[in-house]
């Protein structure tokens, strides 16, 4: 693993989740690791760890990771509620933050629906919070899809009985399955 070939291993993910939890930060696993947490096993390599957190925790998260050698990775889509931190070993941490009011309405940040953040899973047997299966499938729509997206969604739909989104028809037809 290098900066040119980033990878977040299960051990790397658990180390970060433990660090955040030890500092009273609630972390929800999203993205590829979120899929694998729901499935309870690693299905492919992951370049980064995507997480959803409360926006109020962003300064503390930045301080904790910067103390461990992480720096902001410049990207075109960076803003205060969505940015990537990386270290010299090729670990990438993609942070998505939001704020909910007392009624559960998203009032600031990345537009996560409140009920999307209630999933549970495990990474190498370590229990984690993650995006729910139904929302994980929904979040894998509305953009240019690739083979990783198809594999992730296919596995989620099969394991959790979620209907395959129409956007994946091209992949399904090429896969030789109805």
Strand 82-86 relative to strand 92-100: parallel, antiparallel, unpaired?
antiparallel
pLDDT value at residue 5: 75
Query: According to the model, what pLDDT value does residue 176 have?
Result: 53
The percentage of the chain sitting over the pLDDT mark of 90, rounded to a whole number, equals 89
- How do residues 122-152 score in pLDDT, each as one tens digit? 999 999 999 999 999 999 999 999 999 999 9
A 10 A CB-CB count for 139 gives: 19
Residue with token string 């009624």: 103
How close are the terminal C-alpha atoms of the chain, in Å?
A: 38
Q: What is the average pLDDT across 69-77?
A: 95
The pLDDT of residue 178 is: 42
pLDDT value at position 172? 72
Query: Each residue of 103-124: b (16+ CB within 10 Å) or e?
Result: eeeeeebbebbeebbebebbbe
pLDDT in the model for residue 1: 43
User: 37 with 29: CB under 8 angstroms?
Assistant: yes
Packed helices 10-22 and 58-66: angle between N→C axes, nearest 10 degrees: 120
* CB neighbourhood size of 94 (10 A): 20
Q: What percent of the chain has pLDDT over 70?
A: 95
pLDDT at 41 over 90: yes
pTM score of the predicted model: 0.92
User: What pLDDT sits at residue 22?
Assistant: 98
Mean pLDDT of 43-63: 97
Least-confidence region, from 3-12, 95-104, 126-135: 3-12
Q: Could you tell me the domains of the chain?
A: 10-132 (3.30.460.40)
87: helix, strand or coil: coil
The first and second tokens of residue 82, run together, are 């969505």
| Average predicted confidence (pLDDT) for the chain | 94
Across 19-48, b (16+ Cβ under 10 Å) vs e yields bbeeeebebbbbbbbbbbbbbeebeeebeb
């Amino acid at each position: 693993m290098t900066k040119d070939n980033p990878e977040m291993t299960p051990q790397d993910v658990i180390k970060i989740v433990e660090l955040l939890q030890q500092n009273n930060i609630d972390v929800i696993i999203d993205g590829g690791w979120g899929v694998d947490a729901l499935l309870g096993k690693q299905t492919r390599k992951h370049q980064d760890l995507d997480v959803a957190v409360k926006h109020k925790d962003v300064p503390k998260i930045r301080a904790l990771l910067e103390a461990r050698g992480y720096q902001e990775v410049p990207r075109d889509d960076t803003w205060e509620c969505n940015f990537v931190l990386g270290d010299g070993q090729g670990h990438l941490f993609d942070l998505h933050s939001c704020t909910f009011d007392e009624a559960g309405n998203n009032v600031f940040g990345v537009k996560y629906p409140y009920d999307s953040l209630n999933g549970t899973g495990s990474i190498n047997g370590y229990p984690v919070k993650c995006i729910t299966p139904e929302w994980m499938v929904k979040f894998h729509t509305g953009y240019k899809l690739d083979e990783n997206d198809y594999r992730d969604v296919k596995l989620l739909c099969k394991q959790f009985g979620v209907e395959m989104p129409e956007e994946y028809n091209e992949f399904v037809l090429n896969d030789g399955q109805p």
